[in-house]
Amino acid sequence: MPDADVSAAPRTGAAVVAGWFDEHVDTIHRYAARRVGEHAGWDVTAETFRIALERFGQFDGRRGGERAWLYGIASNILRRHWRSEERRLRARARDAGALVMPGDPLLDVDARLDAQRDIERVVAAIDALADDDRELLILVAWERVTSAEAARALGIPAGTVRSRLNRIRTHLRHQQGVTE
């Protein structure tokens, strides 16, 4: 008796999530690593796919793609890591001020000090945002997800994403003293 056609067999949750892993592991890891560092980023990535496998039955492809769902899982994990992230952003701001510019460092001191102040203001403004607003801004600005993907990842309507982004941008411009 000939073997059954394996390609016709329904895919299990494990097989589907394994495919998602192959397709999205680097994207999810980059997202997590920017937020919590390279090593912790792998931990977040692994946890994201473990939860995706565990909760595969809750995935509804009609509500959005798997990438947005994975971002949503990773975002929930990363919310718990915000304090570490805040320290990392502040360290980056300090490190940016310590970068040595080519040429005579004494000649470039004003430019470096201005850049340092700018970075510190941006970090402080992002830090001052509400957790949900910060998460949305990071998804859209750093990860370049679409409004629809951000909506799916955060479990909010797409119209809310657009209005919240507008409010965040207005708030950040106001905080930075930018007028239009």
In sequence order, what DSSP letters do the residues of 99-121 get, joined into one string?
A: PPPSS-TTTTHHHHHHHHHHHHH
Q: Which of 122, 131, 111 is nearest to 172 (CA)?
A: 122
* Per-residue confidence (pLDDT) for residue 120, from 0 to 100: 77
pTM metric for this prediction: 0.57
Q: Which band of pLDDT confidence, cut at 50, 70 and 90, is reported for residue 143? A: confident
The answer to whether residues 172 and 125 touch, using CB atoms and an 8 Å cutoff, is yes
Which alpha helices (DSSP H) does the chain contain, by range? 13-36, 38-54, 66-79, 82-98, 109-128, 131-137, 147-154, 158-175
Radius of gyration of the chain (CA): 21
* Residue 96 pLDDT: 59
Overall average pLDDT of the 143-155 stretch? 88
pLDDT band at 28 (very low <50, low <70, confident <90, very high): very high
Mean pLDDT is lowest, of 19-33, 35-49, 121-135, for 121-135
pLDDT of residue 81: 75
Contact at 8 Å (CB) between 154 and 122?
no
Q: How many CA atoms lie within 13 A of 123 on its CB side?
A: 19
Only one residue has tokens 């510019």, namely 101
Tokens representing 55 are 């909760």
Cα–Cα distances in angstroms (integers) from residue 129 to residues 47, 90, 122, in the given order: 26, 15, 11
Q: How high is the mean pLDDT of the chain? A: 80
Per-residue pLDDT of 29-71, as tens digits, reads 999 998 888 988 999 999 999 999 999 999 988 888 999 999 9
Question: What's the pLDDT at 68?
Answer: 92
Cα 134 to Cα 161: distance, rounded to the nearest angstrom: 12
For residue 19, CA distances in Å to 14, 42, 86 come to 9, 18, 33
Q: Is the pLDDT of residue 135 over 50?
A: yes
